[in-house]
Chain A
């Protein structure tokens, strides 16, 4: 394919979609097809990979297992990734109780995201929370975990706020995106609307250091308003109305 006309190039520059790739008869040209396969291969590998134990150790995290004994079981049955293994419960018994902020790294659907961005994010988040003099819990890592594992951990450790940093489902464009789910006083009866979310944390989205500041600010707001998720949004909206009146 020759270079696109300037007016078209201007439009194409605005989207990551696979456009102006040409065709071989009605099919994808070889190069475009093989690029697609390479991107899907990377995404599949990211889903199936495990976070190496050495990485967990280097980050100083206490590792917890879930009821999912394998990656395959984890992918098929979401319930397993929301339930702690018996070994995890005894480990939790030795962790700090009732901290102000509990940090949990969860592999979720992308070990690659944890390996790529959790080190920078945790270091920056540690600095931000330290500057704000927050009492931190024992930092944790959950292998084969889902977001709602933070409710189980909340039930066991009773933090004021729990922040779970979770590997997102890999796409073809990026396989290393993390999300932070922040919840005020999580319990076993917590639901999805109770969580505040900062998503798309990776080099092409919100950079990890910038994300750390946003997360720390969000934790401040949760602690100030004693709420998170939809309840926090409602309180902030009510506050804005009151100050506007």
Chain B
């Protein structure tokens, strides 16, 4: 393994795989603060040269957190399909990139190959890819999952309806759900971030959304994004939950900082399989997809648990961990963390494209919260740009929030209008079950909003 490169007559040396992976990243405020970013533009280019020559075996044998110290590394390593890995272990990262972009690489071949990959391999390819590479390659890596709706089919774009309210007022939440549905939002999920993380409140919100879903006959699923322990207590008390949520991070210590662990997630996963309202849905058989994970570059540094690894590689490890649970949805909340990690619109857009590509390459059903906070050098135009790029890349879903202004979390993201616009702009349809429902309700015809669409009053009880 070679950890040095000569560029324009100058020699650049790197101390480890972890070091060169970090130096090869596109500029990120978090990597700079951690003191692991490239020290010059030429060093960044040299690091990319070194990364391109590393073999997939080099990356598997040198995870950014050692196997004996980090359970996330162990989960990812144990999940590798050894037969597939043996076929590709000698490939360089550059060869893997070329193969992913090649004209004669089929979807079926990628679906087989991804089982032999680790997170570090996916991150390494992202580091030697341009934004348009990431868009083009990801489009060829569809990941489809199914609950009441089928999300991630090529030619489809879904949204999570996010009807948050600062004090969880049921009427306010109901109004936001009516309006979202009237714009065709909500085919991935109706998911509420609760203002108050307690069992009674979480159960109340699950009942509210279950009742609405059932009264209106909407083919979708509910979720309340409380801490996993709160949701488990709600489930034990019989709360009507379709999908169970948790935030993930890319190191054992950062996962612990979220108050959870692989053992706890295993337990939660078993419990939702046992108790989800979806378990009896439509007499379906086979493996149910019942988990929803959120991730985002920088949370490991934020927790002081990055261990010298860069935020792109650590983000890929979140997807590696997510794979263990065969989730229904994974969401990179890309601009939420703030300018200490992603300084501006340019860094947020880059991170969103990296995350979506790495998630798809590792086989998780990834969507994106294309978003920003008010202390970042970003605005709604950056959010528009990222959403348009990701929709082109085949992103599974976006958030849908009234006018993009989340009045509970205090940040801005994509709106109900944006979901409808991207569909009409790019000829994308909602999830098939949900599309049929919208057509039946007279809100969508030939993939376009009807005159009736956008009016929340259409869902008022008669």
Write the residues of chain A forming the contact surface with B, with a CB cutoff of 8 angstroms: 4-5, 7-8, 10-23, 25-28, 32, 36-37, 39-40, 43-44, 46-47, 75-79, 109, 169-173
User: Contacts A7-B460, A169-B410 hold; do A17 and B175 have CB atoms under 8 A apart?
Assistant: yes
Within 8 A of A (CB), among B258-284: none
Whole-angstrom CA separation of A171 from B408 in the bound complex: 10
Minimum CB distance partner of B424 in chain A: A26
B435 to chain A, nearest CB (A): 16
A180 to chain B, nearest CB (A): 18
Report B-chain residues with C-beta under 8 Å of the C-beta of A25.
421
Show 26 A/B contacts (Cβ-Cβ < 8 Å), sorted by A. Answer: A4-B456, A5-B457, A7-B457, A8-B456, A11-B171, A11-B174, A14-B169, A14-B171, A14-B172, A14-B175, A15-B175, A17-B402, A19-B175, A22-B454, A28-B403, A28-B415, A39-B405, A43-B374, A46-B374, A47-B374, A76-B340, A169-B374, A169-B375, A169-B410, A172-B407, A172-B410
**Quick check: B169 and A8 within 8 Å, CB to CB?**
no
**Quick check: B175 and A8 within 8 Å, CB to CB?**
yes
Report A-chain residues with C-beta under 8 Å of the C-beta of B407.
15-17, 171-173
Report A-chain residues with C-beta under 8 Å of the C-beta of B176.
15, 17, 19
Report A-chain residues with C-beta under 8 Å of the C-beta of B173.
15
Report A-chain residues with C-beta under 8 Å of the C-beta of B146.
none
Minimum CB distance partner of B171 in chain A: A14
Report A-chain residues with C-beta under 8 Å of the C-beta of B421.
25-27
Count residues of B near A (Cβ-Cβ below 8 Å). Answer: 41
Interface centre among B33, B410, B412, B421 (most CB of A within 10 A): B410
**Quick check: B405 and A18 within 8 Å, CB to CB?**
yes
Whole-angstrom CA separation of A173 from B374 in the bound complex: 12
Write out, one digit per residue, whether chain B residues 122-164 have a CB within 8 A of any chain A CB (1) or not (0): 0000000000000000000000000000000000000000010
Whole-angstrom CA separation of A156 from B24 in the bound complex: 42
Report B-chain residues with C-beta under 8 Å of the C-beta of A17.
163, 165, 172, 175-176, 402-403, 405, 407
B380 close to chain A: CB less than 8 A: yes
B179 close to chain A: CB less than 8 A: yes
Report B-chain residues with C-beta under 8 Å of the C-beta of A19.
175-176, 179, 402, 456
Whole-angstrom CA separation of A190 from B172 in the bound complex: 39
Write the residues of chain B forming the contact surface with A, with a CB cutoff of 8 angstroms: 29, 33, 163, 165-166, 169, 171-176, 178-179, 183, 339-340, 343, 373-375, 379-380, 402-405, 407, 410, 412, 415, 417, 420-421, 424, 449, 454, 456-457, 460-461
User: Contacts A40-B374, A75-B375 hold; do A20 and B456 have CB atoms under 8 A apart?
Assistant: yes
B423 to chain A, nearest CB (A): 8
Minimum CB distance partner of A39 in chain B: B405
Minimum CB distance partner of A171 in chain B: B410
Whole-angstrom CA separation of A169 from B339 in the bound complex: 13
B257 to chain A, nearest CB (A): 11
B262 to chain A, nearest CB (A): 24
Report B-chain residues with C-beta under 8 Å of the C-beta of A5.
457, 460
Question: Which 5 pairs between the two chains have the least Cβ-Cβ distance?
Answer: A15-B172, A18-B403, A11-B175, A171-B410, A14-B171
User: Contacts A28-B417, A36-B404, A36-B405 hold; do A20 and B340 have CB atoms under 8 A apart?
Assistant: no
**Quick check: B403 and A21 within 8 Å, CB to CB?**
yes
Whole-angstrom CA separation of A240 from B417 in the bound complex: 50
Minimum CB distance partner of B420 in chain A: A26
Whole-angstrom CA separation of A46 from B373 in the bound complex: 13
Q: A14-B175, A173-B407 are in contact. List 5 more A-B contacts (CB 8 A).
A: A11-B178, A14-B165, A19-B402, A40-B379, A46-B374
Minimum CB distance partner of B165 in chain A: A15
**Quick check: A76 and B339 within 8 Å, CB to CB?**
yes
Whole-angstrom CA separation of A18 from B163 in the bound complex: 11
**Quick check: B457 and A4 within 8 Å, CB to CB?**
yes
Whole-angstrom CA separation of A146 from B442 in the bound complex: 52
A130 to chain B, nearest CB (A): 34
Whole-angstrom CA separation of A16 from B168 in the bound complex: 12
Whole-angstrom CA separation of A47 from B339 in the bound complex: 12
Report A-chain residues with C-beta under 8 Å of the C-beta of B402.
17-19, 21
